Each structure stands twice: as structure tokens, then as C-alpha cells.
Amino acid sequence: MRQNIAIIGAGLGGLMLARVLHRHGIEATIYEAENSPAARKQGGLLDIDADTGQRAIRAAGLHDEFLALVRPGEDAKRVMDRDGNILLDYAGDPLSSRPEVDRGALRTMLIGSLPAGGIQWARKATAVTPLSDGRYAIDFADGTAATADLLIGADGAWSKVRAILTDAKPVYSGTCFIEIGLAADDRRYATSIASVGTGTLMAVAPGRGILAHRNADGSVSGYVAVNQPEDWIGSIDFTDAGAGLAVVAEQFAGWAPHLIGLITGSIAEPTPRPIYALAPDLRWPRRKGVTLVGVAAHFMSPFAGEGANLAMLHGAELGRSIAANVDDPDAALAAYEMALFPKSNQVARLSARNLEVFFGPAAPGSAADLFRSLRGTGT
């Protein structure tokens, strides 16, 4: 078995892969561009599915630790129209098969499960080059380099490793998110905060939306969503956050004042996040000694609720496949990819359809109907 395994990226997929390998006595090195685990905010809540994300967590031997992170009842869902009328309002289910956890806490759990030195921080990969002997050279921004016998790209949407396998690149979906957040004790926006309920609010209309979640401390975090050309968001100057958000709020003229207050009252840094996605039917030819996990392999919009779940599941499945084929790692990669493509492609197509459900011409009724149907199947 080749012992020199390099994983580029310390997201959920790369961390899960390293953890499952470690459980099987196989060590790998993760190279991560960020300077430390606390270099940036890791996003909001994730719903972790019993059949995907939780299955991976069990394979990692971390299910008890995971249960300690669960936020019971925070899976409550509320759908509103632009006038503030509630179209759907489901209370949280403490026994949900998709419990909510904080992404940052989940990542911290996985980081803590790895041996010291297993992650090399501040090692941003700038180039990955196949070598004539079948290994891979990795160049880093700090001027250093490394080689790997087995290379796994867990390096996100703009993966350097993906470029070895395919020319496919993410395409802008037409929807852009802008981060928002309100303090729990801001009395000026008490009505806005109360409108979120105890879980997640989705106030949507064709081409527009406010997606917000009530945190455990009573504060609110989330996103404004607008369907606009990619260069539109780049034309807004967010140096003055209030002025930038005021421009965004103009897209919601005529909406209920308490919903607009979730935008104009935001104290979060209004970071634009254009929604990109890879083609739902993406595949790549088998290449010796290299593959992808996580967003690098299946970048999609967040509207299937499965991106993080798939990242962890595929990280776990790749780890187990390598462990089961210690004398033939390329057979391990081939078996992993054979299972990866059908499931990822199915979820990517669902995600693309759901983006239309939320912001297409039938919104918000289509969004309410979606959650009613999911509730009917117990998901």
C-alpha cells in the first residue's frame, strides 16, 4: 500500500476521510489553506441526515460526540410570502432524523479526532502536477512543495485537483446570497426577529428571498437572496455596510416592513456569496492515484440540504474503500467513484430543481408545497 496520502482541504469531506483512514491505521496529511481552525466563520446550521451524514459519523466512531452537538427542535420551518403571511409553520421535532448542528462545531469535532500534526495549516495549494512516476507534486503559496502517492482533492468549489481530472468548472446559477444577521436584544427590530420563529424562516417570492435562522442565543443569521446577473452584486459597494444593504433592500420594495428590517437592521458583514454549481451529470475518467471528495466533486446549490451530508458520506466511503483495498489503492478509487457518481448526480439535479422551487415563478407556494411533501414522507 502506498503510504504517502495527501488530502488537499480541511473541509468536512477531507476531515472525514482522514478520520476514517486513521481509524483503520492509515495515516494521511491534510494540507489546508487557512491559517488555523478559527481563521473564519464556518457557516450556520446543517441538518445531518440519518442515512448519509450520520452514517458517515458512525463510520468515524464519533456518533456519541455528534449527539452532544445536536440542537433539538431547531429544525422548525416557516414559509412566508412577501406580505408576511405565514403559508407554512412547522414546529421543531426533537426526534427528527435530520437534527440540526452548527457547522463550526461539527468541523471542530472532526479536527479534534485526528492525530497531532495530521493537518498542516497555512499550506495553500497553488498548483498540482502529475509526475512521470505516477506521483503528484503539490506547490504551496509559501514556496514549499510536497509529493503524494495518493492525492485526494477536498479543496472546494475551485479545486486545483479537479483540473487534473476534468475541464469542468462551476457555473453561476443566477442567484446570489448576501449574509445578514441581527442581535437578539435589538429592540428596534424586535418584530423582524420574532417573525423568524424558533427555527428557519423562508420568506420568498419569484427572484427574491430572505432566509434566516434563529440561533440558540436568540440572535438571527442568514442570507438575502436575489436573482441578478453576476456583475450586479459586484457593482454594490459594501465598504459602508449600511449603504450597501440599503441598495439590496431596494430589491424588496413593497415587502412587509418587518421583513425588510431583517436586511436593513443587519449587523453582519454583508458578504456576497454568488451561488455556483457544477453540471449535475459531472463524471471524470479514472486516473491513477487521484480522486475528489466533497464540494470539489459535487458542487451544488444548498437547496437539497445534502452538500455537507454527501461530503462526509463520500469521505467515509473513500476511507473505507482504501482500507479494504490496501494492496490496490486504484481499485479502491475506482470502487468509490462507481458509487459516487450516481448519488451525487441525483442530488445535484434535485438541488437545481429546488432552486427553481424557491425563487421561480410559483414561489412562495411552491416552497410551502415542497416542505409539506417532505413532512408527509417523514423527512
In the structure, what pLDDT confidence band is assigned to residue 378 with cuts at 50, 70 and 90? very low
Instruction: Please tell me the pTM assigned to this model.
Output: 0.92
Q: Which residues are annotated as a binding site for NADPH?
A: 40
Question: Tens of pLDDT along 49-70?
Answer: 999 999 999 999 999 999 999 8
Task: Compute the average pLDDT of residues 179-191.
Answer: 94
Domain pair 5-72+95-170+278-357 / 171-276, same fold: no
Q: What is the pLDDT, as a whole number, of residue 376?
A: 61
Q: Are 251 and 226 in contact (CB under 8 A)?
A: yes
* Mean pLDDT for all residues in the chain: 92
Is the predicted pLDDT of residue 369 greater than 90, yes or no? Answer: yes
Give the torsion sign (CA, 132, 138, 144, 147): negative
Q: What is the pLDDT, as a whole number, of residue 377?
A: 43
Question: Tens of pLDDT along 323-360?
Answer: 999 999 999 999 999 999 998 888 888 888 898 999 99
| Position 100, amino acid | E
Question: Tens of pLDDT along 71-123?
Answer: 877 778 999 999 999 999 998 776 677 888 988 899 999 999 999 999 999 99
User: Does CATH number 3.50.50.60 belong to domain 5-72+95-170+278-357?
Assistant: yes
What are the domain boundaries of the chain? Answer: 5-72+95-170+278-357, 171-276
Work out whether strand 171-182 and strand 200-205 pair parallel, antiparallel, or are unpaired: unpaired
Q: Which residues are annotated as a binding site?
A: 40, 47, 103
Fold observed for domain 171-276: D-Amino Acid Oxidase; Chain A, domain 2 (3.30.9)
% of the chain surpassing 90 pLDDT: 77
Instruction: Name the residue with higher pLDDT: 180 or 95.
Output: 180
Q: Which residues are annotated as a binding site for FAD?
A: 47, 103
